[in-house]
Structure 1
């Protein structure tokens, strides 16, 4: 009788990896919901972008960027770049809230912090994309 050796592969998942995935999923849900609200013409979104005076084209553009960023967060190779783009988008949102709309920038700043954290931890994938 012959014995066949088998190799058992063990996956070592670190707590930081799980935490990063949770942050990515939360960001994905938040940005996808916000983007869908903008593209669907939610009354609050239409009114907010109307108050900006830029026209509704900006609402559509931001909605598309939010959904694209949310999808990018789910793709490991694009995750860091998507998070960086969403952080930039939230920088603009925070500044707009504070200086144009005169409302609290707390929510965009919180989203900026989480997106920035994800981008920081995925900076190696961002660098790898630019090296190509």
Structure 2
């Protein structure tokens, strides 16, 4: 009997190809700017639609500010190379919570579809940028 040893996965195997890297950066920039400007900003600065939505949720103003800060932080994290994988993973969790809120608290299950699609996109980004998890943990442990 012969045993075949699996080749060790190197850090280079975790890096996407040149075209995939460009597609990833394009998606990250678009989503990052969307969450900074169009999603988190209105929550943080009190746009009328955001105020009504969070009044319906009924958790108070602190939750609107918290959600706005989380979305802006996630958007910024998508634009920073060392933070893009952890930010994408965190935004996946945020979008799961957003979909659950749309479906169960606000009673609009059809509107939960967009956050669920974003969960898949953010999970893909986190997987493709998984090498930055090591960079992030090194940064945290310093």
Shorter-chain TM-score tier: 0.7 to 0.9
CA distance in 2, matches of 1:21, 1:130: 22
1:23 to 13, 24, 27: 27
CA shift at 1:128, angstroms?
A: 3.8
Q: Give how far 1:127 is off.
A: 3.6
Task: Pick the aligned partner of 2:121 from 110, 114, 122.
Answer: 114
Match of 1:82 among 87, 92, 102: 87
Q: Number of residues paired by the alignment?
A: 120
Q: Which residue in the other structure is 2:104 paired with?
A: 99
Q: CA deviation at 1:60?
A: 0.3
Q: For residue 40 of structure 1, what is the aligned residue in structure 2?
A: 45
Q: Which runs of 5+ in 2 are unaligned?
A: 1-16
CA RMSD for the aligned pairs? 1.4
User: How far has the Cα of 1:48 moved from its partner?
Assistant: 0.7
Alpha-carbon separation, structure 2, partners of 1:23 and 1:120: 14
Determine the structure 2 residue equivalent to 1:67.
Answer: 72
Runs of 4+ in 1 over 4 A off after TM superposition: none
For the residues of structure 2 that align with 1:30 and 1:116, how far apart are their CA atoms? Answer: 17
Contact 1:36 1:67 in 2 (8 A): yes
Q: CA deviation at 1:120?
A: 1.0
Query: Displacement, 1:129?
Result: 2.6
Instruction: Tell me the CA shift for residue 40 of structure 1.
Output: 1.4
Structure 1: 5+ residue runs without aligned partners? 1-12
More helix by share: 2
Counterpart selection for 1:130 from 129, 133, 137? 137
Separation of aligned partners in 1, 2:123 and 2:57: 26
| Separation of aligned partners in 1, 2:100 and 2:133 | 25
SS in 2 for 1:102: coil
